[in-house]
Amino acid sequence: MKAIPRAARVYIGCALLGAGACVLPALRPGATTPWGTVALLAALYALCELPARCRVLGRGVDGSPPLGAGSFFPVLLAAALLLPPAAAALTTLPGSLLARVDEPPAAPRRVWRAAATSLAVYAAAHTADALSCGNALGGVYRAPDLPYALLPATAASLSFCLVLTALDGGIRATADGLTARAAWRGLLGRALAPHTVHGLAGLMMAVLWRSSYGPVAALFVLLPMYISCWVFTQYHRERAAHQATIRALVQAVDIKDRYTRGHSERVGHASFLIARELGMSEDRLDTVRFAGILHDVGKLGVPTRVLRKDGPLTPEERRIIELHPEYGHEMVRGIGFLGEARAAILHHHERMDGNGYPYGLRGEEIPEYARVVAVADSFDAMTSTRSYSRARPVPTAVAELERCAGTQFDPRMVAALVRALDRYGWQPAVTSDETAPEGNVPPPRDPVTPRPKERA
């Protein structure tokens, strides 16, 4: 179970206190809270979240992510348009507390979600109220004021989006120790369009709710939301298929070169840490992690006798094994979702001074991902205990990387790794239980500055 940092606990507590202050006016004696509407909307939102907790309905047979997870926000935005702010904030609580949580600890995550969504709905309801949304929705005997009603609905959904992304960035900063730039980067851009669509769907629900057709007619708005949720789930299924493809390739490499088992996954993780410190966007973080995991996939094209040879390589064998980046690039060239990762696989043995292989690129000619993976690769090679060498202490490995910065490695990538290690630490690992000589992936040719000793 992952421990929650103290800063994150304090942050969650503050959000919970804020949510409590928001809903308190609706609970005071004498408050004119429309409990019937609150109960119906709260029950509807909770009902939308319940299937995700069912083993049969909540997850596909292929292990794809559950439905829900924000796909039914139109219910909450409809509540923000229909109810006073304090009452609207109450509608989020049952569904948020019942929502499925896949990672422990579950209780703090549910409490956080309940507090964050309550605050966001409260802000959205205040925005709608300030723009006289209640009058614009019409009623049983009065037509809605369209297109004016679009203004408060859009403004409310924007307020909802801004508050929710601001809170999410804060929890990422406190729980994961990210910088402010890294924590909030890309959140608003990814959330703005979906929340705007949810706001329009919420407006449709609110108009139908107030009309002569009543709340039952408003339920039909959830049908397109369910379809969008299904599309979202299909996306995650495709993503799961990508992960399975990568796992299969890595497993094949580990079987062939058993002396560096686990190395690929750790290089992927270290590459991710470096890229996150550099402030890369979320989609690029995934791609650079794929690049780190698959950087040695070209070993599948190298004869096993060369990889496991006991003793030094001949010049011919060295030329063969130096082709493994090109083999890897050819193997993954047709896998479209890897994107820039393909260039990293091809160039992760290049050096800043031009003495690397396969093409002798130098400086900025080397793709950014390849410079990231080169640092992660060498760092893990130095800090892993293997059958043929003891792990170097992390400070020793870092000192070696810093010594070679500018000649072999990009100084920016080395500095980013150092910051990430200070923040998260590193756990060295044993990658082989067998006794064997050192493997035969050669370092770049350089008569002056030797590359840190590595296996892969």
Structure pTM?
Answer: 0.57
Report yes or no: 383 and 426 within 8 Å, Cβ to Cβ.
yes
Give whole-number Cα distances, 220 to 15, 149, 209, in Å: 33, 20, 11
> Residue 186 pLDDT > 70, yes or no?
yes
Lowest mean pLDDT, pick from 78-87, 234-243, 254-263, 392-401: 254-263
User: Would you tell me how many other CB atoms lie within 10 Å of the CB of residue 339?
Assistant: 17
Whole-number pLDDT of residue 248: 82
Tell me if the bond preceding 66 is cis, omega within 30° of 0: no
The pLDDT-based confidence of 238 (bands split at 50, 70, 90) is confident
pLDDT digits (tens, 9 = 90+) for 419-452: 999 988 887 655 444 333 334 444 444 433 334 4
Q: Which two tokens stand for residue 313?
A: 């390589």
- pLDDT, average across residues 215-230: 75
Report yes or no: 441 and 455 within 8 Å, Cβ to Cβ.
yes
Residues sharing a CB contact under 8 Å with residue 279, sequence separation 6 or more, in sequence order: 179, 181, 182, 185
Between 54 and 142, the higher pLDDT residue: 142
The pLDDT-based confidence of 69 (bands split at 50, 70, 90) is very low
- pLDDT, average across residues 403-420: 95
Report yes or no: 172 and 217 within 8 Å, Cβ to Cβ.
no
Mean pLDDT of the chain: 82
Q: Which two tokens stand for residue 217?
A: 């007619």
Report yes or no: 123 and 159 within 8 Å, Cβ to Cβ.
yes
386 alpha-carbon distance from chain centroid: 31
Alpha-helical segments (H) within 257-349:
263-277, 282-293, 304-307, 315-321, 324-332, 341-347
262 alpha-carbon distance from chain centroid: 22
Between 357 and 230, the higher pLDDT residue: 357
- The share of the chain scoring above pLDDT 90, in percent, equals 40
pLDDT digits (tens, 9 = 90+) for 40-56: 999 988 887 776 555 44
